[in-house]
A and B are shown apart, each in its own frame.
Chain A
Amino acid sequence: MLDIQNLQVVYGTGRMRVDAVKNVSFHVEPGAAYGLVGESGSGKSTVLRAICGLAPITSGRVSVDGAAVTTPRSKAFYRTVQMVFQDPYASLHPRHTVDRTLSEPLAIHGEKDAEARILQALKEVGLGPSFRFRYPHQLSGGQRQRIAIARALILRPKVLLLDEPTSALDASVQAEILNLLNDLRRRLGLTYILVSHDLAVVAHLCERLLVMQHGEAVEETTADALRSGAASNTYTQSLIQASQGFTRVAPQTARAPAA
């Protein structure tokens, strides 16, 4: 479904040159969920932004559904690939109602029967029609993130790029959103690329994952390997260690604080 070959992203030139992503490659099968894990500055989000055109591709190849992407991306690309952002408080236009937010993609792509599709999209993310004419400030964080997911799904994309979709949410809300994402993937046959700093979240949602550090791929592994502690790389090991919580007392399975 998605193939990344030797992706490199460089910002600036000369002394200001920043190599955000250095030579990263991975491949995601249709219907799979693939995780990108790392700490801030590891380039994991930049990979995601390079796929969808928010960051430049300096060199390398990104192909979706067998075809290399063009710059600027085509309208057809946006019908195939959509993204959910980290902060639901920043990703919804503050002056637009839910209705306007959801009808915008339909209008851009000249879709018919907006009415029915908006109601359908709301239903898919577990919100009723009563949410349709609310403004973002009338919604909780979890509800906002559901709207953001509905917006991403309304064009019926095949690939969903998830950039830390739960790290700005409370733990109990995170569980609801994770369940929703799992459920949607199964029902709609979606392919996910998930970026997160939280190993437990990635292991919960994805089958395979890539650990990144300083813009480079450190190790590609599976969620099962992560659970059994079979990671070979020392950096991955240290991430697993840190995600177990503070270790003065007996180590328990603790979640790391949200960045």
Chain B
Amino acid sequence: MSAGAAGWLQAGLLVVALVAVHRPLGDWMARVFTSPRHGRVEKLVYRAVGVDADAEQRWPTYLRSVLAFSLVSVLFLYLLQRLQSLLPWSNGMPAVESGSAWNTAVSFVTNTNWQGYAGESTMGHLVQMAGLAVQNFLSAAVGLAVAVALVRGFARTRTDRLGNAWVDITRAVTRVLLPLSVLAAVVLVLGGVVQNLSAGTDATTLGGASQFLPGGPVASQEAIKQLGTNGGGFYNANSAHPFEGPSAWISLFQVFLMLVIPFSLPRTFGRMVGDKRQGLAIVGVMATLATASLALNSWAQARAGGAALQLAGAATEGQEVRFGGPLSALFGTATTLTSTGATNSLHDSYTPTGGLLTMANMMLGEVAPGGVGSGLYGMLVLAVIAVFVAGLMVGRTPEYLGKKLGGREMTMASLYVLTTPAIVLIGTAVAMATAAGRGSMLNTGSHGLSEVLYAFTSAGNNNGSAFAGLSANTPFYNTALGLAMAFGRFVPIVLVLALAGRLAQQGRTPATAGTLPTHQVLFVGLLTAVVLVVVGLTYFPALSLGPLAEALS
């Protein structure tokens, strides 16, 4: 079988699996977030945490809960790293340096999982398990909660209540993320991913040299790392490391894990607003963009672009033989279209066009299908923009799902769309204007600029992957990227919850003959165009100086 045919078959298998799972999982999540009943274990959680689970919150309170939870999470994770040398199961690792610890704490709490450090030489097992992996669960749960709050804004009428953040976060963990992670971890273990507490083994190779073989509770962390669209590798090489990605089918399974919740959430949305066709339209936009991106990237990576790769004969630099080209391109596409950022190949060494696409995927705002929760709320905000644009064209007051989109609603949506590009472009500009920013580039010329642009794109969009040649573990990048991740996560969350609060207070405008139908192919096309034009074009000047210049030279 040719590599290309095998590539399309494995993508086909992935699509079949996602289509089969998105309905039951989407329906299940809708039940999880609408059921009035608390589980027995959940009641214990609410008592231990000290919250009244039946008290629904207004949007400012919901926001305060989310922010308080995230703030405490950052502080706790920072402390854990700083105290590492005193903790058990640390394998003699020293305390993490303060700048790196801050960067990593923000990174994992914001669901970014940008890594300035190398896992196997920095983090002991305890910080990995009880710090980083815990935030893999919690940051994904926060994303789910915020998305559900926005959906309630559309689904509810004439109320100032959006639900209870503590209940939503708890249920996201107990009913969705934890059960799925257990199942996924079992599959990963069966596939050969390691799960132990060994400090490592010293082997004597056939050549007579000594080789250190690391240990670690990897499978349990790998499961939620992919499911929660987190992406932070246990080891430096992330999912390319043979202990994280031992075989091709495991790597394909990991792609499935990172896509399954984001692609199921539109179904949840459709259920909760009482019109499954609305969810289908949203998933249609996501699938259109994802398919186009995968096709382009597979095509680009199958040709050896760039002087070095042409000399080698294929784009195998930074690629594992067992995965091969098509599976590497599939993983690279999925990890940048979701906010995962795990890698099974090195994006920095992709062909110029392939590297450009991984960056462009993130620049779309992580909405096709995006991160757990954040992908759905990002796409719904863009749907609001699309409806508004259509309204302008015909001169009507725009409505989406019976909610009028007035000046205040559009202010929130517009600010949402502007926030991330501002962070990315200003951050890149500052880095390129300072010696500290420029000094970290590994590659020269336009590819060097691409490394910096990629870093801020990844941080601002909470992705976490890298053109990893950039030496990011410096005071400048630890600080700047930490800020980019924090603003890139929490400013949009504030805007989304404020928008949700306003939408929930409205009544529902009955649909008339003049209402734009938002469940038809026309709207799918319109929303796709809005994603590409409104969001994508913002970055065109920056892209043309970096990866585009390299691809065309």
Query: Do A and B assemble together?
Result: no
